[in-house]
Amino acid sequence: MEYRIEHDSMGEVRVPSERYWGAQTERSKDNFRIGAGKEPIPEEMVTAFAIMKKAAAAANRELLPEKMTAEKEDVISLVCDEIMAGSLDGNFPLVVWQTGSGTQFNMNVNEVIANRGNEILGEVVLHPNDDVNMSQSSNDTFPTAMHIAAALSVEDKLIPAVESLIATFIRLETENEGIVKSGRTHLQDAVPIAFSQEISGWRTSLERDVQLIRASLPFLKELALGGTAVGTGLNAPEGFDRAVAEEISRLTGKLFVTAPNKFHALTSKDELVTVHGSLKALAADMMKIANDVRWLASGPRNGLGEISIPENEPGSSIMPGKVNPTQCEQVTMVAVQVMGNDTAVGIAASQGNFELNVFMPVLIYDFLQSVRLLTDSIVSFDRNCASGIKANADRMSSDVHNSLMLATVLNPYIGYEKAAEVVKKAYAEGISIRDACLQLGHLTAEEFDRVFRPEEMI
């Protein structure tokens, strides 16, 4: 491999010739050999940094034209576009396990933009600190990028995935209208419920999750940029914070605003904790839905067998013909990971010391992993399982008519204690509720048939 010599305030460093990063990136790459390079700063953060650096250059051009010349802004903007397009992938090698402020990653981006920009210009015009990082600090750029990356990934990827699954459940509600089945509480038989009603519970849980997520998103759209090192805005021109937020809004098509208190914005991560709490709520509901589906589909002969789900792959290396609810299993595993991430996010957010939180890389790593996993998991579950759910109407009808909990409808006519007596007799003797009630003399056959109508109990 060929190398070139780069330098920073600590001296000279050898850098691979085919890469655009500089000395500070190389030092971090060498000093933090943790995780075998398999846990890099997420690509969503790379994109967010490119958006932010482009916006910062535009704001500096407006406010400091003598320093941010048109030539500099144009080439910074061009390189940021290349980063967003993915043409500079491979130039951002730093791992999560680095300085807690993300300083080296900010410099990684600054160095790549400066070196690539100078290559385009054919001369050294851009300096990574003086030009690309103008009016900024790692302490306000990293949290700003965190909010941009989090907001974009949740709004543009996760919510559409959930809404697609909601649409699937709406279709299934319509298709299964009129099918009555046995309800279950405490994993025991309960009074009847329409299958469409059961599905509506799944659907409404997801709708509420989307409402909760959307309600917390505006707080993510408050940006720390402009606070620089400790929140005072040192070395940033008056109005930079507002101008850069307006430019980020223009670039993303979403309304971002400057945080009203930069001292809070640099050290507190409560907005990310709140949104991730909503992600945990979604994970909890997905766990419940996936468990419902796999239990309802259990069998094929010795389980509940009330629904069938798509058969996607063989389920056993030894038992011929076995098929398992694998999509439900991936959902439940993802839910567990998201719940674990929520603990890490909360602990990381609690570590804001004085004017800065220094657990930011791991916080955004776990946050974005949760978004990515939930998005992919829900899309997969929707496509490979939920969309193919079919009701076994005959099995549902048989189960509901055989349920002892149908005796609940007798309460208003014979009272709770006599109804319980009917249930116990029917269960002990293996007879129907009707026969038990008639044998005990609590109702006549005509009276029983008039009030005992399972299909009307929903």
127 is catalytic: no
The sign of the CA dihedral 226, 227, 228, 232 is: positive
**Tokens describing residue 67:** 């320093």
Query: For residues 251 and 145, what is the distance between their CA atoms, to the nearest angstrom?
Result: 14
Helices first, then strands: H and E counts in the chain:
17, 10
Residue 307: beta bridge partners?
391
The token duo for 345 is 């996010």
CB atoms within 10 A of CB 344: 18
Which residues neighbour 273 within 8 Å (Cβ) at sequence distance 6 or greater? Answer: 345, 346, 349
From CA 79, how far away is CA 92, in angstroms rounded? 14
Rounded Cα distance, 205 and 40, in Å: 34
Annotation marks residue 186 as catalytic:
yes
Dihedral, 443, 446, 452, 453 alpha carbons, nearest 10: 180
Burial class of 62 by CB neighbour count within 10 A (0 to 12, 13 to 18, 19+) = middle
8 Å CB contact between 274 and 219:
yes
Catalytic residue among 9, 17, 186, 317: 186
Question: Which is the catalytic residue, given 28, 205, 249, 316?
Answer: 316
d(CA 458, CA 454): 8
The position carrying tokens 């799944």 is 202
- Bridge-based pairing state of the strands 180-185 and 188-194: antiparallel
Cα-Cα-Cα-Cα torsion 269, 270, 271, 273, nearest 10 degrees, comes to 90
Residue 105 and residue 94 in contact, taking contact as beta carbons nearer than 8 Å = yes
Distances (CA, A) of 308 to 184, 195, 269, 295: 18, 13, 44, 11
Q: Which residues pair with 40 in a beta bridge?
A: 95
- Hey, which residues are catalytic here? 186, 316
